[in-house]
Amino acid sequence: MKLEVGEIEIDDIQLGDETGIEEGVLHVSRSELRKLLLEDKRLAAVEMTVARPGDKTRIIPVKDVIEPRLRLDNEITGYPGVTDKMGRVGSGRTLALKGAAVVTTGDIVAIQEGLIDMWGEGARYTPFSQTCNLALTFTPRRNLEPHQHEEAVREAGLKAAEYLGEAARDLEPDTTHLYELPPLSARSGELAELPRVVYLEMLIAQGLLHDSYIYGVDAKETLPTWIHPNEILDGALVSGNCVAACDKITTYQHQNNSIILDLYDRHGKDLNFLGVVLTPELTTFTGKVRSCEHATGLIKSIGADGVIISEEGYGNPDSDLLQNCKLLEQEGIKTVLITDECAGNDGFSQSLADTSPEARAVISTGNVSHPVRLDPAERVIGNIGSLANLAGGSGESFQDDGSIVCELNAIIGSTSEIGYHNLTARQY
């Protein structure tokens, strides 16, 4: 499977009468996009606002972030099984508008979405302070059931990203990246002698709006699934997740999964990247055992020497993470775990809800409970009052001088467990 991703650099987004790209500026027709999005009768209204890096702008509560893309050479132009008919993606040519993002917001389900600050202290902790964001604030029809509300906003964000991607159809990319892995049976010579590595990606799949979708299928309805990494990079995996903002994996991060990209960089040099197993993080003990046992069986049958395991979320999913580690290590397959920590404001509480002596190689992406003070914003897109209900925020977050104090929990992507942000290495 061969995927060519052409990147078109976007320096700015401007709202106007027509949609197109000119000299790095993405022009967006307000009326055309609004008409498209409000075809979904579950949505009553949508507001469009551009937030640029350096603006003293706060977006809250953020539901998802999506990179605008256009898939060429494939009759599936949208997100298969979600906004388009079912079909396989991950091959052919795709254009990506680098530096641009669609951000969905509004009072969606009143639980665990997060915030993006485009400037100041908060900008240090989220990668989406560096993208030019088209923020879409949705108002649902009255009395819309929460799961329908989430679905309508999720699909609208994807449709908006598809619409913006179409603007690139006649453009030549600034840079192009090729992603290709030969079939396992075709790997021989020096490649076959390198350590065989599988990436085990854990997906939130707990219901109550804590969901991920693989080709449109809710992950909690699946067993661990073997998948080509190109399919993930090309839109097969979509976030429907309203879990704590710091480590929710947005659709944008799935499209640019940094673990997959790093493994591609090292493939054929010091490792043999076999592929990806997606596994659900379920809520029942039986479900956890089933998923972990099945994932281990898949990975063993493929012949992996080592596995990188990334978590999504913390607390309950820690048990899945450590069970996966334990079972794989007992089969003689070495593991590296990527997780964040919930160690309290002072950093001295127990970091994970579970542990295992087999977990000897662990990468931390930060403490979700670390407190930060964020300066007052000149402009708020969405509803700042929602911070009182977000993980990492409370009614006491609001300070007399207009600043807010919250935990990293509340900032989108601040402790990304696929490493999609800042990482620090220290040698002891």
- The DSSP annotation for 332-356 comes to T-EEEEEEEE---TTS-S-SSS---
Average pLDDT over residues 183-210: 89
Q: Which domain covers residue 306, as residue numbers? A: 2-410
Quick check: 67 pLDDT over 90? yes
What does the pLDDT read at residue 112? 66
Q: Assess whether pLDDT exceeds 80 at residue 160.
A: yes
Using one digit for the tens of pLDDT, what is the confidence trace for 30-48?
Answer: 999 999 999 999 999 999 9
The pTM (predicted TM-score) of the whole model is 0.95
Give long-range contacts, CB 8 A cutoff, 24+ apart: 79-83: 79/158, 79/162, 79/216, 79/235, 79/238, 80/215, 80/216, 80/235, 80/236, 81/213, 81/215, 81/216, 81/217, 82/154, 82/155, 82/158, 82/213, 82/216, 82/238, 83/155, 83/158, 83/159, 83/162
With 80 as the cut, is the pLDDT of residue 425 above it?
no
The single-letter DSSP state of residue 418 is T
Identify whether 420 is part of a domain: no
Average pLDDT over residues 175-201: 92
In whole angstroms, what is the distance from residue 373 CA to residue 184 CA? Answer: 50
**Which pLDDT score is estimated for 188?**
82
Rounded to an integer, the average pLDDT of 17-39 is 97
Q: Check: CB of residue 275 under 8 Å from CB of residue 226.
A: yes
- Between 55 and 74, whose confidence is greater? 55
Per the structure, the count of domains in the chain is 1
Q: Which residue in 132, 242, 246, 325 is the catalytic one?
A: 242
Mean pLDDT of the chain: 93
Whether residue 415 is contained in a domain is answered as no
Residue 74's pLDDT band (cuts 50, 70, 90): confident
Q: E-strand spans in 294-333?
A: 306-310
Residue at 418 is within a domain:
no
The answer to whether position 421 is within a domain reads no
Which tops the pLDDT comparison, 111 or 234?
234
User: What residue type is assigned to position 144 of the chain?
Assistant: L
Mean pLDDT along residues 334-345: 93
pLDDT of 110 above 60: no
- Give percent above pLDDT 90 in the chain: 81
Kindly tell me if the per-residue pLDDT of 174 is higher than 60. Answer: yes
At residue 197, the pLDDT reads 97
pLDDT for res 428: 67
Residue 111 has pLDDT above 80, yes or no: no
Residue 134 domain-assigned (yes or no): yes
242 is catalytic: yes
| 423 within domain boundaries | no
The confidence score (pLDDT) of residue 200 equals: 98
Q: DSSP alpha helices (H): ranges in 169-272?
A: 190-193, 229-233, 251-255, 258-266
Q: What is the pLDDT of residues 136-151, one digit of tens each?
A: 999 999 888 888 999 9
Mean pLDDT over 316-328 rounds to 95
User: What integer pLDDT is reported at residue 4 of this predicted model?
Assistant: 97
pLDDT for position 16? 95
Answer whether residue 426 is part of any domain.
no
213 pLDDT band (50/70/90 cuts)?
very high
Is 428 part of a structural domain of the chain? no
